[in-house]
Amino acid sequence: MLSGDPAEEEPGLLHDTEYYWKQAHWLQSRFPKGVYADVEGLCKIVSRAEITAKDWSLSPGRYVGVDTATDEEEDYEERLAQIHRELAGLNEEAIALAQTIMDNYKELAI
C-alpha cells in the first residue's frame, strides 16, 4: 500500500519513507559529513578517568546530559492528539480482548 496517512492501521510505504527520511535528516544535522561529534543528550566520548570519577557508573545521563533543544517542525499538539487517539483505540481493543477472555473462560466452565 502506498498511502501516507499515518492514521491508517497500516500506514504504507509513503509513511515509512517519510519516517526514514526524517531519521536520516536528523542524523545528518547532528553529524555533518558523517563525522562523529559529542552531542548533548545523545552521545559523548569519555575517558576512563571520567568514568572512575563517577564511581564507575555507566549511566548515560551522567555523561551526555539532557538535550534541551526542541524540534521546531514538530506540531506537539497534533502529536499529542494522535497519541491520544492511538491510546483510545488500544483501550477499546483491550476491553474487547478482556471480554473475549471472559467469554472463553465461561465456556470452559471451570
**If pLDDT is split at 50, 70 and 90, which confidence band does 110 have?**
low
Is 0.85 topped by the overall pTM?
no
Average pLDDT, rounded, for the chain: 84
Set of cell numbers at residue 21: 527520511
Can you spell out the DSSP letters for 17-85? HHHHHHHHHHHHHHSGGG----BTTTB----HHHHHHTTT---THHHH-------TT--HHHHHHHHHH
Task: State pLDDT tens for residues 7-61.
Answer: 656 656 667 788 888 888 888 888 888 889 888 888 999 999 999 999 999 998 8
